[in-house]
Amino acid sequence: MTMQHAHDQAALPFNGVVIIPALNESNNVGAVVREILDHTSLPVVVIDDASTDDTAARARLAGAEVIRLPLQLGAWGATQTGLRYAQARGYDIAITMDADGQHEASHLAELMQPVITGKADVAIGACTARGSRMRRIAWSMMKRSSGLSIEDITSGFRVYNASAISELARRRATLLEYQDIGVLLLLLSKGARIVDVEVAMPPRIGSGSRVFHSWRTVAYYMMYTLLLGLSKRNPRQAY
Amino acid sequence: MVSILTGFIGLAVAAVILVLVRRDKLHVNHALGWVLVAAGFALMGFAPGVFDSLAGILGIHYPPTLALTIAIAILTVKILAMDIERSRNEVRTQRLIQKMAILESELSALHRRSEPSGESPPEKPTSIDT
């Protein structure tokens, strides 16, 4: 840690941690971690979702703490591991970012702002411009079925405050497979204030989306999400 | 003849269940349901008149239809209950995996810290709810 960063850490009015779920991202994870550490003094925790490459070693080398899952739990299972870690360690802010370089650390301060100032419990880095045609269709179906009005439902670039962390660390959130509809509806049911923050996202460096890469997974994902959205509609009444 | 066979199937199922419980292959609470199934088979086999008159009361002209409908209904409920239990087990396993991974990372961090000098005191252990 540089002197500048040490100074930043002392001056920070909150205790935050960056959580990065990663599956076979050995090509990108190092650069992603370094970029975050260049922009902020926050500790970075990479949750290695049972990768078969050296994702864990590269992340550690770049300066991140690494939690290795012995079995693959999926993107949300890995993210929840990070949130449980954040809760257990008493962090009051958790930032989640993808390991593929899609989320730029330069937007961190902007994204954290509404949560740090208490204006929101959750901030979502939204980039509605990034969607392919299929993704846009998916978004509109998801919004319609669930009644959610959040811009970028699938974005993994988020900031959670302590109460959101504790809600999402619970057993109830464990059964979810993805971090979008289910997680957002659960948060809304608890009265969380969620805001969108428009950020630019460059294309992914390496591998594509974990969901939008084959027709079979897209079909499963869409059916899963639509059923979940419909069954938990009007979240205030659902829980 | 068919009804006698059905009755014997019921008795055989009951016997198998007893053996499985005796050998600790089947949890007693699951066995209870299966004993009821066996009893149903036996009843259908050895006292088919019961089903016939029940079907008559319900206005079902062909009694085996009643037996099949009941069987399908029971199986559906059973399979649904199994999936509910499976979901609960998935949550438990997933949370255990998460907890294990967090504790493992903490353990290796402690090892790393104690290796070079052995001076740094261990941090307060992380407490994680299952």
Alpha-carbon distance A42 to A48, whole Å? 19
A134-171: pLDDT as tens digits: 777 777 877 777 777 777 888 889 999 999 999 999 99
Distance CA(A22)–CA(A56), nearest Å, equals: 9
Best of B83, B94, B99, B127 to mutate (most A CBs within 10 Å, chain A): B94
Could you tell me what percent of chain B has a pLDDT over 90?
A: 28
Share of chain A above pLDDT 70, in %: 87
Tell whether B123 is within 8 A of chain A (Cβ). Answer: no
Which of B105, B111, B113, B126 should we substitute to test contact with A (largest number of A Cβ atoms within 10 Å)?
B105
A71 chain-B contacts, CB cut-off 8 A = 97
A111 vs A185: CA distance, rounded Å: 20
The mean per-residue pLDDT over the stretch B24-38 comes to 87
User: In the prediction, which pLDDT does B126 show?
Assistant: 65
- Mean pLDDT calculated for residue range B36-65: 86
* Nearest CB to B128; choose among A69, A77, A88: A88
The pLDDT, as a whole number, for residue B109 is 87
Within 8 A of A66 by CB-CB distance, chain B residues are: 105
- Is the CB of residue A23 less than 8 Å from the CB of residue A35? no
Does any CB of chain A come closer than 8 Å to the CB of residue B100? yes
User: Is the CATH number 3.90.550.10 carried by domain A14-234?
Assistant: yes
Q: Where are the domains of chain A?
A: 14-234
Residue B11 CA to residue A164 CA, distance in Å, equals 56
**Residue A209 predicted with pLDDT over 80:** no
- If phi over 0 gives left and psi between -120 and 50 gives alpha, with beta otherwise, what is residue B69? alpha
Phi, psi for A58 (deg, rounded to 5): -65, -40
Domain ranges for chain B: 1-46, 61-114
- Measure CB to CB from residue A81 to each of B98, B109, B126 and give the nearest one: B98
Inter-chain residue contact A174 with B100, CB threshold 8 Å:
no
Mutate to test the interface with A, among B95, B104, B108, B110 (most CBs of A within 10 A): B95
Average pLDDT of chain B to the nearest whole number: 85
Other beta carbons less than 10 A from residue B101's beta carbon: 25
Contact residues, chain B, for A81 at CB < 8 Å:
98, 101-102
> Residue A190: is it exposed, middle or buried by C-beta count within 10 angstroms (0-12/13-18/19+)?
middle
ipTM: 0.82
Minimal Cα distance from A84: which residue of B?
B128
DSSP H or E stretch at residue B108: helix B63-114
pLDDT for residue A5 is more than 70: no
Name the minimum distance, in Å, from the CA of B96 to any CA of chain A: 10
Whether A84 sits inside 8 A of B127 (CB atoms) is: no
The answer to whether residue B4 scores a pLDDT higher than 70 is yes
Report pLDDT digits (tens) over A51-90: 999 999 999 999 999 999 999 999 999 999 999 999 999 9
- The whole-number pLDDT of residue A7 equals 41
Q: Could you give the angle at which helices B48-58 and B28-46 cross, rounded to 10 degrees?
A: 90
